[in-house]
Structure 1
């Protein structure tokens, strides 16, 4: 159910990118920001859907901390900027009002529910399956770099979005800056958790999601190429960063398919 809601949010933003005034909870400009958020939602959908199909906690927990972080921060963003949301029934269509209230309800319910599930899971008896083949050092180093950059940048955007906005390659408001920051924090935590797990079987689904993230963001860039100022270093740095996400995701996805997952212990 959760993955379906994530997919729907991604569709609103990545497909109906230029119609957020009607089909989303708040109006997003420029549309590249909506595409960025939509790409992140769809990549998260991959992560959550694949996690739901795993048999062990060790192989599925890679989805929990990033999603819990993102949903909690997004609830805070919503409350901080509630005046920007489409809640005025006299100014918006019923479908717009419905989308807005659905957003508010989902983000009010999901964080405490996920925290309860996490608490329940950590109290269950048992131990993780032993780690199998580790990731190469260069890959852990690059993912560690990705994660650190995204977490630090996400924190900066969340705390002081207007002050940090000039370093971003396109225009962000306080609301969209914090929304982007919430995603950066969630994605950064996911990348750092991959480094910590350091096992192909445990991080396979995260690498598939990472590949999807890179592909979707590259497509978003191509859709709105004119919004980038290529005479500025920040546009090139953004492109290089996204390309590196794509490269790590592609290599990791292909390599993980070759690794035999650690077998579950037989019942005695």
Structure 2
């Protein structure tokens, strides 16, 4: 695509796919948060430990914020770095589903689940490929350049989360032996998929320093982290306190909340200073 097509436009197909996905995420999050003890009946498969249901619902909360942002985005680069993460996450859940079909309920929720995960990773990947050349790779008129120490630090944190999530996904039996709450092979792989999200999103920081390209994504990640923190408090009885991973998980969630919040506030402050400077010209 030539430079004249690098108009930063969000294509109508991209908006409509985002709009179509949001209601499914809302319903799934509501079912998992509201009825964790009835997942076998109401959701796609029975989840024995409610905290596993809450963890997946927390990822969906972040997804709701992201896809609402896609539907409302004025510029493609505002949301582009979230698309690879969706492809990896949805693709991992598709693989986990196909590996554990015997665990799923034969109900409407499972039909919807299969329809979504058989299509979403491929549709989102196609849209990302079609959209990507439209990014002119220039900042917004009022923007913030993310400091290098933050970019590389958060990329390293995300990389570690991705590697750890990949290990949990590939070796669910191993993860079951040390995780902070009881897992099954299926919920272990779902947990690995959730952990992968931040790694794929943060990888974009290695080559893109525009805060405008990450504002929506970090808002989504912060919402997801808050949901995870609340879930852990609400379902603290599900935790296995005799395992070292339990304390480590709690520390990591709390630390991530602080780091992401400070980073977001820092970048917003830089953007406000840029806006004030522009207004004085």
The TM-score range, normalised by the shorter chain, is 0.7 to 0.9
User: What does residue range 92-103 of structure 1 map to in structure 2 within 5 Å?
Assistant: 97-103=107-113
Q: CA deviation at 1:194?
A: 3.9
Post-superposition Cα deviations, 1:33-60, rounded to whole Å, max 9, x if no partner, equal 0011111111121122113222112111
- Contact 1:157–1:164 at 8 Å: present in 2 too? yes
Match of 1:197, SS state, is coil
The counterpart of 2:88, out of the listed 63, 69, 77, is: 69
Residue 22 (structure 1) shift: 1.2
Quote the Cα distance in structure 1 between the aligned partners of 2:258 and 2:70.
Answer: 22
Aligned pairs, number: 253
**Paired residue secondary structure (1:61):** coil
2:178 aligned with 1:167: yes
Structure 1, residues 30-86: CA drift from partner, whole Å, max 9, x if none?
111001111111112112211322211211102211111111111111111111111
Which secondary structure state, in structure 1, belongs to the residue aligned with residue 240 of structure 2?
coil
TM-score (normalizing by structure 2): 0.82
Aligned counterparts of 1:29 and 1:136: Cα–Cα separation in 2: 44
Give secondary structure in 1 for the equivalent of 2:45.
Answer: coil
Cα distance in 2 between the residues matched to 1:70 and 1:2: 14
CA distance in 1, matches of 2:146, 2:194: 25
Q: Is 1:5 the equivalent of 2:14?
A: no
Pair 1:122 & 2:132 matched: yes
In 2, distance between residues paired with 1:119 and 1:262?
A: 32
Matched, 1:242 2:253: yes
Deviation at 1:139, TM superposition (A): 3.1
Using the alignment, how far apart are the partners of 1:195 and 1:45 within structure 2?
25
Do the aligned residues in 2 keep the contact of 1:68 with 1:114 (CA within 8 Å)?
yes
Measured against aligned partners, the alpha-carbon deviations of 1:126-159 in whole angstroms (never above 9, x if no partner) come to 6222475322345334422331222111111221
* Match of residue 191 from structure 2: 180
Q: 2:78 aligned to 55, 59, 64, which one? A: 59
1:192 alignment counterpart: 203
Equivalences for 1:216-255 in 2 at 5 Å?
A: 216-255=227-266
Distance 2:161 2:235 in 1: 22
Tell me, which stretches of 5 or more residues in structure 1 are unaligned? 88-96, 264-268
The 1:135/1:158 distance shift into structure 2, 3 A limit, reads: same
Distance (Å, rounded) in 2 between the aligned partners of 1:241 and 1:195: 22
Q: Distance in 1 between the 2:250 and 2:129 partners?
A: 38
CA contact (8 A) 2:160 2:199 kept: yes
Q: Aligned equivalents of 2:242 and 2:181: distance in 1?
A: 13
TM-score by length of 1: 0.86
In 1, distance between residues paired with 2:148 and 2:126? 35
Q: CA RMSD in A?
A: 2.2
**Aligned: 1:113 with 2:107:** no
TM-aligned CA deviation for residue 229 of structure 1: 3.5
Change in CA separation of 1:120 and 1:262 when aligned onto 2, cut-off 3 Å: farther
